């Protein structure tokens, strides 16, 4: 969470670093998250994607300003440091075209969409097995190729092309 980081930065006299003025995020306590995940797991079918009701998103800049005010540090400045590769301004809990179906718990939804499975005759389990196999062999480009096939609408600004042969990890 950004809260401990902001607290340390404020206590140190600042600045409080925020990636972008329009950044928003959802927040949930650990007990809330655990409880909802257990509820979703208890009602889950063999296959399915569930999403938790996360409440209203919080503007990170507003959070930083409020913490500066509460901690009595009006001279602490906010510094915008820019988005990191692949980082989004807004968390998307579900994609365009996905529908949230209600469940027995008012804060747990099941997603339904034609985009929930790989295209064509591809088997998701086989694609994941192939991705893991190539990742373990440090064939990053091939692993990412299988990731793209398994999750066609995934994109990241820093994702290397499939022709790269090695990732920089043990």
Predicted confidence at residue 158, as pLDDT, reads 47
Tokens linked to 81: 């440091």
Spatial CA neighbour of 110 closest among 100, 96, 125: 100
What structural domains and CATH numbers belong to the chain?
2-43+55-95 (3.90.25.30), 117-170 (no CATH)
Alpha-carbon span 4 to 91, nearest angstrom:
20
Contact 41, 108 (CB under 8 A): no
Say what the pTM is.
0.62
In sequence order, what are the residues at sequence separation of 6 or more whose Cβ sits closer than 8 angstroms to the Cβ of residue 53? 36, 106, 107, 108, 109
Q: pLDDT (tens digit, 0 to 9) for every residue of the chain, 170 residues total?
A: 899 999 999 999 999 999 999 999 988 888 888 887 887 777 766 566 777 778 888 999 999 999 999 999 999 999 999 988 778 888 777 767 677 777 778 778 877 765 555 555 567 778 888 888 888 888 888 888 888 777 766 665 544 444 444 434 33
Contact 94, 153 (CB under 8 A): no
Alpha-carbon span 11 to 5, nearest angstrom:
10
- Strand, helix or coil for residue 156: coil
């Amino acid at each position: 969470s950004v809260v401990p980081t902001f607290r340390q930065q404020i206590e140190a006299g600042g600045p409080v670093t925020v990636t972008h003025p329009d950044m928003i995020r959802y927040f949930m306590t650990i007990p809330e998250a655990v409880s909802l995940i257990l509820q979703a797991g208890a009602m889950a079918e063999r296959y399915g994607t569930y999403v938790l009701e996360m409440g209203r998103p919080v503007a990170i800049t507003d959070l930083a300003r409020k913490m500066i005010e509460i901690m009595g540090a009006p001279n602490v400045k906010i510094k915008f440091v820019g988005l990191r590769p692949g980082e989004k301004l807004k968390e998307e809990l579900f994609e365009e075209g996905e529908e949230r179906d209600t469940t027995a718990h008012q804060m747990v939804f099941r997603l339904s969409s034609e985009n929930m499975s790989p295209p064509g005759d591809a088997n998701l389990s086989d694609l994941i097995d192939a991705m893991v196999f190539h990742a373990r062999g440090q064939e990053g480009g091939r692993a990412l190729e299988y990731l793209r096939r398994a999750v066609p609408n995934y994109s990241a600004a820093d994702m290397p092309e499939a022709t790269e042969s090695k990732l920089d990890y043990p």
